[in-house]
Structures are given as C-alpha cells and as structure tokens.
Structure 1
Amino acid sequence: MRGTDVRVLQDFLTKAGVKTKVDGQYGPATTSNVKRWERKSKLPVDGKVPKTDASTLRMQVAQGTAGTQSIPAPAPTANATLGADGKAIAPVGAPPEVVAVIAAANEIVGKPYKYGGGHGDWEDSGYDCSGSESYALHGADLVSRPLNSSEFMSWGEPGEGQWITSYAHGGHSFLVVAGLRFDTGYNDSSSSGPKWSEKMRPTDGFTVRHPEGL
C-alpha cells in the first residue's frame, strides 16, 4: 500500500504527536507508528486505519491535540497556516491532494538552493525552483517526473486554482498552496532554498496554471 492516502496518513500521524516519515509507503515503520497512535488514543491496537480511526485522527489534527473528537467543520477553502518550524499546516477539509502536496513540500523545507537540484533524482541534497515545485506536486502524484520552469508554463489547466496555483516563466516557477507561497526566492529571510511564506511576490510576466479540479 502506497501513494497519496498514505502520505496524508503519515503527515497526520506526525501532527498528532507520532513523528512519521512521509514517504507514501505503508511499511513496518508506519504500521508501528499507527500502533503507537492507537495506544495513545485508547483505540484497538492493530496497525490498521479503518474509516472510524481515520476520522478520529483527522479531528485530533484539526484541534492540535490528541484524544478530543468534538470539533466544528471549517470552511473548505480555509488557508493553510505557517508553523514556527517553517512548515505548513494544511487546513481542515482540504482535499487529500492538497494535504499530500503540503506534506511533501515540508519534507524539503530548509534544503539549500541547488541549480538543477531535484531534476536528476527526487531525493537530492538541494533543490532549485522547479525542482522544489515538482517534488511538492509529486507528493500527490500531480506530476510523474520533475518539470522545469518552462514546462510548468503549459502544465495543468490555465488560470488560478482554488487550492493550488503554479506561477512560471522561462526562468522561475513557484507554487501557492492553500494561501501559502512555496518558493526558493523572494522569501522573508536572506537565505535561499525551498520555503513557505505568507508573503506573496509580484506575478507580472508569470504564466498561471493549476491542476485540474484543484
């Protein structure tokens, strides 16, 4: 078992206090962490996540503390928030693809800028702008291979998306996901490399695209 749903599960486990690597594979490590979460939540311990357990986990993540299940449903278009660690927190009610993109992007936050980084291999020591964008989108299987900034000019559908928007021209590309910008430049600090920011950047000259349905 692997893919977008597993990435979402792994991301939610971490947010619920059981740190789990987001790799999209339901292997022994993830199974063990599911059992830890089940014990913590006083649920039957079997390493599996049926719909009832998934609902409990989602509510825990929404509230920010484990064990409480009473929480109102937020608006489906609520913005993501930026944590103190520089990583994004997906809004409750976001589509699984959005949660997976955010989880994947969080994996490379803090990596250095590296020209061509992320284009030869998904896992790299650093990432450039389009390599960072590709890595994030690949987390939800929205790209099958790394794209360069020029290729992002024709990726997906034209115009802004409700949840995910790509901005690209021949020399640069970046994403806006649930209201946060994921970019390697124009950030709030002097360092470069993939980061989330609440600050937007000028978009004149950029081609605007989005994944279908998002």
Structure 2
Amino acid sequence: MRKTIAISLALAAALLGLGVPTAMAGGQTIPWGAGCASIPSGGIRTSASCGASLVNGRAIAPPGAPEAVVRVIAAANQINGRPYVWGGGHASFLSKGYDCSGAVSYALHGAGLLETTMVSGQLAYWGDAGAGRWITIYANAEHVFMVVAGLRFDTRDDRPGVRGPRWKMAAPEARILPAFVARHPAGL
C-alpha cells in the first residue's frame, strides 16, 4: 500500500511540477500539497515535513504517513464533492450529502477512530487537546473542520455556490482560529 501511495505521489508530483516545499518571503514554507521536505536521520515525518498532495480535488497521503492517516484521507475522498446537507451523515454514515460534523465524523470513522457521528460541539471535546502531528480537528459549537497531513477538509463555502465536503490547500485563516478549539486523535 505504501509503495503504491509513494508511486502515486511521485507521479502526481511529476505531472503537476510539485516538489519539496517552496519557501515564501521570510523563509516560511508551504506544506500544503508540496511534497516532502528532507528530515534529519531518525527524524519523524509529520504533516509539517511531508504534506499530502491534492490532485484533481482528491488528497493523496504522503509517503510514510501512519495507516490511520491514509485511511482518514481515503474515507474523506469517498465523500469529497458531495453536496452540503444540514444534518447529513448523522442518521447514517451513508448519506447523499454531509454537513461539517457529518463529514469529519465520516472520515474519522473510516479510519476506525470514531464509532458514531458527533456534532461539532461534541468534537470540540473529542480526542486529545491541541494540534496533532498529522490530524488536527478545529471545532466549536457551530462548525468543525480538520487539517489532515497539511490539507484542510471543510464544508465551508469559499466560493459562492460551492458547499459541501472538500479538500482545500488553504491553511485555516488566522482570524477565525481563536473561535475554535484544536483537538487531535491520540498519537496523531
């Protein structure tokens, strides 16, 4: 499986001209979909050093990602692009559309990290506090989204008429983060 993912990532990188993270002004790097940065011998790959790639709207897990991360990404890819439906994904994980918490719950469930759906307010208390190395869930009483291996999975409409679960290469806006608590699955 990892060999297949590594080959897929290498092919996608070659086709799209992706490589190691590019530096911005001030030396800040872009981890979103930019491939893997070199790490010291014995270092641990995290989403900061090896972000997922986004190809045709679908996420590709980076090489060396933990199996749970690969499965969260695969599950999120299954519902990526579905319509936004308030309450969608709560009566059953299988739904024609998903709201924010239904989408996040579906992806976490796909990796065996969550047994049942939760609303955003419940996800604000789920898992361990703080940002994770691979998965960070940002939740409050009204909305939830997550960042997985550097890619954002969110239902928020960034463009008029585009709503529903989608992968985005954009980092969460600094101005909105104080309204959310960061949580993560244990060990991730």
Common fold, TM-score beyond 0.5? Answer: yes
Shift of 1:56: 4.8
Q: Which has the larger radius of gyration?
A: 1
State the alpha-carbon separation in 1 of the partners of residues 2 and 108 from structure 2: 25
TM-score w.r.t. the length of structure 2 is 0.75
**2:151 aligned with 1:151:** no
| Superposition map of 1:192-207 within 5 A | 192-201=163-172, 202-207=176-181
Structure 1 pair 171–152 and aligned structure 2 pair: CA distance change class (3 A): same
* 1:139 shift after superposition: 1.0
CA gap 1:163/1:188 in 2 versus in 1, 3 angstroms? farther
Give the superposed CA RMSD: 2.1
In the alignment of these two chains, the number of paired residues is: 154
2:67 aligned residue: 96
Distance of aligned partners of 1:74 and 1:125 in 2 relative to their CA distance in 1, 3 Å threshold? farther
Q: What residue is the counterpart of 1:29 in the other structure?
A: none
Distance 1:182 1:148, change over 3 A: same
Kept in 2: contact 1:188–1:199 (CA 8 A): no
Corresponding residue for residue 148 of structure 2: 177
Q: 1:128 to 1:118 in 2, by over 3 A?
A: same
User: In 2 relative to 1, CA 182–189 (structure 1 residues): closer, same or farther, beyond 3 Å?
Assistant: farther
Q: Contact conserved, 1:74 with 1:93, CA < 8 A, in 2? A: no
Whether the 8 Å contact between 1:188 and 1:197 is mirrored in structure 2 is no
2:152 match: secondary structure: strand
* Contact 2:5-2:62 within 8 A present in 1 as well: no
1:2-81 residue pairs with structure 2 within 5 A?
54=1, 56-64=3-11, 76-77=45-46, 78-81=50-53
Structure 1: how far apart are the matches of 2:145 and 2:79?
Answer: 14
Could you give the per-residue CA deviations for residues 125-148 of structure 1, whole angstroms, max 9, x where no partner exists?
A: 000000000001111111000010
CA deviation after TM superposition for structure 1 residue 81, in Å: 1.1
Q: Does 1:109 align with 2:109?
A: no
Please state how far the C-alpha of 1:205 moved relative to its aligned partner.
1.2
- Are 1:83 and 2:55 counterparts? yes
| Mapping 1:127-146, distance limit 5 Å | 127-146=98-117
Output the amino acid matched with 1:180.
L
Deviation string, structure 1 residues 138-161 (Cα, Å, up to 9, x no partner) = 111110000100100110000000
* Superposed structure 1 runs of 4+ greater than 4 Å apart: 72-75
Alpha-carbon offset, residue 59 of structure 1: 4.5
Q: What runs of 5+ residues in structure 2 fail to find an aligned partner?
A: 13-35, 40-44
Where relative contact order (Cα < 8 A, 6+ residues apart) is larger, the structure is 2
Amino acid at match of 2:10: Q
Whole-Å separation in 1 of the counterparts to 2:84 and 2:169 = 20
Query: Does the CA-based 8 Å contact 1:73-1:92 persist in structure 2?
Result: no
1:189 positional shift? 6.0
